[in-house]
Amino acid sequence: MNHLLYSLAEEIKKGVKFETGIDCNGIISDYPVRFIEVAKEYYSDYLGYSGWFYNRSFDFPTYQLVWTDREGNYPWDENFEIDIEDLLRMVSRVLRVWHTGSSLHG
């Protein structure tokens, strides 16, 4: 995942623009992805340090990268396949970080 985000950051630095709300191909092998705009009402919950970086302001756009399941369904599609084991592992890691202050990567 870090490599993917680094590659996207490098493309953005080069001036590549990604449109929101439409499928983008070639970012994750054979799966389409979409960039969706994050509503400002969620900024303070998820982007606290970013607000500090921008002079204690949340006046900047934020986008979330969303990809499909193996069948090409997005999370908001009716037939989206949820891998419950992966979801539980992720939740477990997040809760461990929250309780211990450790890293998600550790």
Q: Where are the domains of the chain?
A: 2-67, 72-106
Tell me which residue of 4, 65, 67 sits closest to 31, measured CA to CA: 67
Give the SS3 label for residue 24: strand
pLDDT at 6: 86
User: pLDDT band at 89, cuts 50/70/90?
Assistant: low
Query: Once rounded to an integer, what is the mean pLDDT over residues 27-33?
Result: 84
Share of the chain above pLDDT 70, in %: 77
- pTM equals 0.66
Phi, psi of 102 (to 5 degrees): -80, -175
Higher local confidence (pLDDT), 79 or 45? 79
63-67, strands of its sheet edge to edge: 24-28, 31-37, 63-67
Number of H helices, E strands in the chain: 4, 3
